[in-house]
Structure 1
Amino acid sequence: MSYDGRFRVWRGDADGGDLADFTVEVNEGEVVLDIIHRLQATQAPDLAVRWNCKAGKCGSCSAEINGRPRLMCMTRMSTFEEGETVTVTPLRAFPVIRDLVTDVSFNYEKARAVPAFAPPADLAPGDYRMQQVDVERSQEFRKCIECFLCQDVCHVIRDHEDNKQAYAGPRFLMRIAELDMHPLDQADRRQAAQHEHGLGLCNITKCCTEVCPEHIKITDNALIPLKERVVDHSYDPLVWLGSKIRRRRD
């Protein structure tokens, strides 16, 4: 079964642009990315769009569909009514390069700012040992495909450009939480999370969790536990006293 679908697609570049109206054939079982490809093939050959796997695993085709950050390859056309106009726009939190392609280099800069895994200096790689429960705690976070939908929907980044310098965003705060949970990691990441990566700016609205295509519970399993450990380390009087005693003994 086919029908003519109505679409509004953002066309433009860093200097500006606007939504353009198109009528494109929609076939049963298709996703939004199929429509964008057909639009390129039939009406707008110069339409810029980033994509790779078309299987929901590379994170390349992130866009905003009817105002919600989604993967175009995982958004089925069957979720929309036949007469509904489907609007496709670039990720709002990042600068537009052209059409649906945005400059997401902000995220790679934040990734480089997170110190790598730091095992004990005297422990050889073959001697690493972990309990299965510790493996399971961080296994969920390894499913991240770096689509940056969580970064896009986070209002701290999305609505406040001046926060970007001091705020890593949910994807990289989750990475810090993952490393902090690792029993072999020797770095103290809690103070850096608070003072260098902006953990305190996160107000746990769970919007990042809601848009994650891998269904990672970013807020509940990463950000809230990390906040709790930061508070314990900084404000719990018993923890504070214990750190002073250990420091004196050293």
Structure 2
Amino acid sequence: MTVRQFKVWRGDSAGGQLVNYDVDVNEGEVVLDVIHRLQATQEPDLACRWNCKAGKCGSCSMEIDGMPRLACMTRMSTFEEDETVTITPLRTFPVIRDLVTDVTFNYIKARETPAFAPPKDVAPGDYRMQQVDVDRSQEFRKCIECFLCQNTCHVVRDHEDNKAAFSGPRFFIRAAELDMHPLDARTDRKEYAQKEQGLGYCNITKCCTEVCPEHIKITDNAIIPMKERVVDRRYDPLVRLGRKILRRDQLEQEAVAVTTLHPAHPTPQPDGTAPINWHRELTPPMGADVDEKGHLPLNELLSDRVGANSPFGDDVEFPVDPTKLNYYHPEQKH
């Protein structure tokens, strides 16, 4: 057993400070063990949220030496013996007390995200999926909702005003999973992600992927594919040309449908052109290209190729200097 130096943030929503502690540390222990010993021997009122101590509940999220981590999965052997380890709460969310933060924002966004929509023509118990579709979405289901990705995302971390219009990476992978699901009946996942979840705010710095304890490739396998599908539908030059060529016929057909369905209440466009039928049947999604065995071409998605460089640099060493992180918060002047 050796004595190690720690700085732990103590305070509440009104303010606080880092307090120095000397705590005994045994070989093989993790940071959560140290916090428990500190509670047992020196600070019985130190607030810390935890549950499983196995890296599966996501409760003990905090920042250790400036890096968002799970306390139960961060071994003390990661740090030098003469190093002072700094432990602070997640900076993106309001502090309740000490190391406990209010992550209500994430549960609000979870309620706003449209749930799985079962197919109307398939009875419960008769759902069938190919194994390749199961494997594709299984990665996103590993999420333990530790909200480290939400914490490190600079869109909400650095700009409080963005929270109303931005759901964050945890819910982008939820939208991507449902958009990839072959039995999900909703066809507007991409549009919802773009318009309601703020997908366009993300500039794919991969910070969320870097801190994910479940090693989910959030950026490469969820956010980028969703962005590509939105762009394909909205900005592809051939698609836009086709829309311009076919728009007149489309409007004429919609005008006839509107007059038939609602002859007394047509909905003209602002420029006075033919009205739009808001009650028309949506075009069903295009079927996926499959091979002779009925498998989807997922070579790109499932490849083991290396993605873009880490935002922390290729020569990163731990412990990370918090002043050198790209999401480091300087002290704000009030």
**Under TM normalisation by the shorter chain, which class is it?**
over 0.9
- TM-score normalized by the length of structure 1: 0.96
Aligned CA-pair RMSD: 1.7
Structure 1 segments (4+ residues) deviating >6 Å: 242-247
Write the deviation string for residues 27-59 of structure 1: whole angstroms up to 9, x where unpaired. Answer: 000000000000000000000000000000000
Aligned partner of residue 164 in structure 1, secondary structure:
helix
Cα 1:31–1:98 change in 2 (3 A) is: same
- TM-score normalized by the length of structure 2: 0.72
Structure 1, gaps ≥5 residues long? none
Amino acid at match of 2:235: Y
Amino acid at match of 1:112: R
Residue 135 of structure 1 corresponds to: 134
Aligned partner of residue 37 in structure 2, secondary structure:
helix
Aligned equivalents of 2:66, 2:239: Cα separation in 1? 45
- Higher strand share goes to which structure? 1
Residue 149 of structure 1 corresponds to: 148
Aligned equivalents of 1:246, 1:90: Cα separation in 2? 55
Aligned partner of residue 40 in structure 1, secondary structure:
helix
Aligned partner of residue 8 in structure 1, secondary structure:
strand
Bigger radius of gyration: 2
Residue 52 of structure 1 corresponds to: 51
Aligned equivalents of 2:40, 2:101: Cα separation in 1? 21
Amino acid at match of 2:191: Q
Amino acid at match of 1:138: S
Shift of 1:221: 0.3
User: Is 73-82 or 236-245 further displaced after alignment?
Assistant: 236-245
2:9 maps to 1:16:
no
Residue 224 of structure 1 corresponds to: 224
Aligned length: 249
Aligned partner of residue 92 in structure 2, secondary structure:
coil
Aligned partner of residue 64 in structure 1, secondary structure:
strand
Aligned equivalents of 1:65, 1:120: Cα separation in 2? 45
Residue 191 of structure 1 corresponds to: 191
Aligned equivalents of 2:6, 2:129: Cα separation in 1? 51
Aligned partner of residue 17 in structure 2, secondary structure:
strand
Amino acid at match of 2:82: G
Amino acid at match of 1:151: Q
Shift of 1:184: 1.4
Aligned equivalents of 1:183, 1:238: Cα separation in 2? 26
Residue 236 of structure 2 corresponds to: 236
Aligned equivalents of 1:233, 1:118: Cα separation in 2? 22
Structure 2, gaps ≥5 residues long? 255-280, 282-334
Residue 203 of structure 1 corresponds to: 203
Aligned partner of residue 129 in structure 2, secondary structure:
coil
Residue 114 of structure 1 corresponds to: 113
The 5 A counterparts of 1:42-121 are 42-121=41-120
Aligned equivalents of 1:138, 1:233: Cα separation in 2? 22
Shift of 1:95: 0.1
Aligned partner of residue 125 in structure 1, secondary structure:
coil
Aligned partner of residue 122 in structure 2, secondary structure:
coil
Aligned equivalents of 1:93, 1:154: Cα separation in 2? 9
Shift of 1:119: 2.2
User: Is 177-186 or 70-79 further displaced after alignment?
Assistant: 177-186
Residue 212 of structure 2 corresponds to: 212
Amino acid at match of 2:219: T
Residue 269 of structure 2 corresponds to: none
